[in-house]
C-alpha cells in the first residue's frame, strides 16, 4: 500500500499550516495551550476565521457551502488543526443539524441551509430543550414555524424556514 502524499496533497497541507500560522488568533492559541476554557465569543470568532476562508463546513456538499475536499484533504486538515491545538468545530449545528436537513429535508427547506458561525436568534423566539431557539407550534402532529425570521441552533448552521413551513 502506498501512503505517500501527492504533490497536491503536500501543497494543501502546507497551505493549511500557513493558514493556521497566520490566522489562528494568538489569544485563542494561548488559551488553548494553557488549558483555559474558551468563551462562546472565542469559539464564534475562530469559526468566523474558518468561515471567511471557506473552511467551516468541511464535510458539507459544495452546493450548501462545503469545501469539496477529498477524504485525504479532510484528514490532513484535521491533523493540522490538532497539531496546532486549534479549537474543534462545535458539533451541534455544522456536524449534526445541517446534514440532517440537507439530506432528509424538503426541497423547500434545503435552500435555506448555509454555514454561519454565529448564532442569530430573533427576539421573539422561545427556548428549545436542546439549548437552541425556535418559534414554532405543534399543529396537526407537525411543528409549524410561526415566523420567517429564522432559527439558528447555535454556532454552526442557520436555517430560515418560511412562516407556516412544517417539519
Query: pLDDT value at position 8?
Result: 97
**Strands 142-145 vs 133-134: parallel, antiparallel or unpaired:** unpaired
Task: Give pLDDT tens digits for 75-95.
Answer: 999 999 999 999 987 767 777
Domain boundaries along the sequence of the chain = 7-89, 106-167
Mean pLDDT over the full length of the chain: 76
- The residue-averaged pLDDT of 21-44 equals 95
pTM: 0.67
The alpha-helical segments, DSSP class H, found in the chain are 7-23, 26-34, 40-53, 71-83, 91, 98-104
Q: Which band of pLDDT confidence, cut at 50, 70 and 90, is reported for residue 141? A: low
pLDDT at 101 over 70: yes
Task: Please state which of the ranges 54-58, 80-84, 90-94, 129-133 shows the lowest mean pLDDT.
Answer: 129-133
More reliable by pLDDT, 70 or 141: 70
Name the DSSP class of 123.
Answer: T
Amino acid at each position: 500500500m502506498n501512503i505517500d502524499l501527492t504533490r497536491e496533497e503536500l501543497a494543501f497541507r502546507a497551505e493549511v499550516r500557513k493558514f493556521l500560522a497566520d490566522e489562528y488568533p494568538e489569544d485563542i492559541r494561548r488559551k488553548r495551550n494553557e488549558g483555559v476554557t474558551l468563551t462562546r465569543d472565542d469559539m464564534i470568532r475562530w469559526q468566523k476565521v474558518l468561515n471567511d476562508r471557506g473552511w467551516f463546513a468541511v464535510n458539507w456538499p459544495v452546493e450548501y457551502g462545503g469545501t469539496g475536499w477529498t477524504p485525504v484533504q479532510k484528514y490532513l486538515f484535521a491533523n493540522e488543526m490538532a497539531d496546532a491545538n486549534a479549537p474543534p468545530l462545535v458539533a451541534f449545528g455544522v456536524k449534526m443539524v445541517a446534514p440532517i436537513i440537507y439530506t432528509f429535508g424538503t426541497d423547500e427547506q434545503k435552500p435555506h441551509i448555509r454555514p454561519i458561525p454565529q448564532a442569530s436568534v430573533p427576539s421573539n423566539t422561545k427556548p428549545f430543550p436542546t439549548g437552541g431557539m425556535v418559534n414554532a407550534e405543534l399543529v396537526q402532529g407537525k411543528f409549524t414555524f410561526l415566523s420567517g425570521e429564522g432559527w439558528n441552533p447555535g454556532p454552526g448552521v442557520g436555517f430560515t424556514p418560511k412562516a407556516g413551513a412544517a417539519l
